[in-house]
Amino acid sequence: TMAYRLEYFDVRGRGESIRYLLKDNELVYDEVLIDFNDWPKYKPKMPYGQAPAFYSGDTMFVQSNSILRYLGRKHDMYPSDPVTAYQVDMLNDGVEDLRNLYVKLIYQNYDAGKEEYVKALPERLQPFENILKANGATSSGFAVGGKVSFVDYNLYDLLDIHVLLSPTCLDTLPTLKAYHNTFNSRPRLAAYRQTEAFKKRNVNGNGKQ
């Protein structure tokens, strides 16, 4: 099998859900943490001028959600049934929508916008609560279809960074709270999150979280 490599900055950002998927499935990979001073050397090689980039041997993959989906297809974490695959995709698109709001807050409006963002958060998380509840996530521990899929790692990361931003944000959302705890307890994820590499890594590029 081809060697895997992940190139990204030393932040959680759009890399951490990929790292979670790799670690939780014991997929071995080389980690390249791009120093921001070296970025001008990498940027022209990136199809959209952005990181993360993922490699399987010499084949390059970019766009964080496409990387997740590629790994999902390759390692049996993307359903073959079209309707179940849709359920994974619609949830992942919801994760992307909230992640974009989060990124905007962190990089453009943290000081002025945090209070309002935190206030609106339970309402913005409610759709995820409803979807996971309807999908039986409380008993299965997984977001869709009773088994792990790539969206689990993306949703877990999204919930985790929001709990850092607002520790009480899941208090009115029991399905999400249990789901977040279940993923916190997955042995390989918990072990990874105990490493110095993880613990010293900033959540975002500007140090805000």
List residues near ligand 0HH by CB under 6 A: 9-11, 13-14, 36, 43, 49-52, 63-65, 205
For residue 160, the SS3 value is helix
- Smallest gap from Cβ 118 to ligand 0HH, in A, equals 21
Of 10 and 31, CB closest to ligand 0HH: 10
- Smallest gap from Cβ 156 to ligand 0HH, in A, equals 17
d(CA 35, CA 43): 12
Of 67 and 132, CB closest to ligand 0HH: 67
Of 23 and 69, CB closest to ligand 0HH: 69
Of 42 and 192, CB closest to ligand 0HH: 42
- Smallest gap from Cβ 36 to ligand 0HH, in A, equals 4
Q: Identify whether the C-beta of residue 92 lies closer than 8 Å to the C-beta of residue 154.
A: yes
- Nearest one of 30, 127, 25 to 78, comparing CA atoms: 25
d(CA 133, CA 12): 27
Q: Identify whether the C-beta of residue 77 lies closer than 8 Å to the C-beta of residue 71.
A: yes
